Structure 1
């Protein structure tokens, strides 16, 4: 059946076309390697996802800031925390 390259190309194009028609028929779209259903005019789901996404981004940013502070405290040899420890050691 696929004895020449032309028939293989035609078969591949046909498969892709049929898949596109099926996706359009069932309201599916591909977004970042995941399949999602279209909400068909209902944008509440989008708003919730967007709000959740923004909340997660804010939380990740806050966590990155906290990690940066902890890294600075752990690696900075002249930090105020180390000076406080030295003062406490000298008092003993």
Structure 2
């Protein structure tokens, strides 16, 4: 499997894991009308994590389909590192 194909497989895997986590957490909280404060905090933390993962997947998709080479890859990775700080 080539590097581009491996990247696409990785992206799909990350998206699937995020979807499963989201569905699992929604099912767990769907029956609770008044969620405990800690549950709301946990929900927000997970939502933030899913948002960050989606942003990273979008970057990986651009990198996998873009033919601009390693210098763009370096810039994209550095931008992600700076964003997480």
Structure with the greater relative contact order (CA < 8 A, sep ≥ 6): 1 or 2? 2
What's the TM-score, normalizing by structure 2?
0.42
Structure number having the greater helix percentage: 2
Give the greater-gyration-radius structure (CA).
1
Question: What TM-score results when the alignment is normalised by the length of structure 1?
Answer: 0.39
Higher strand share: 1
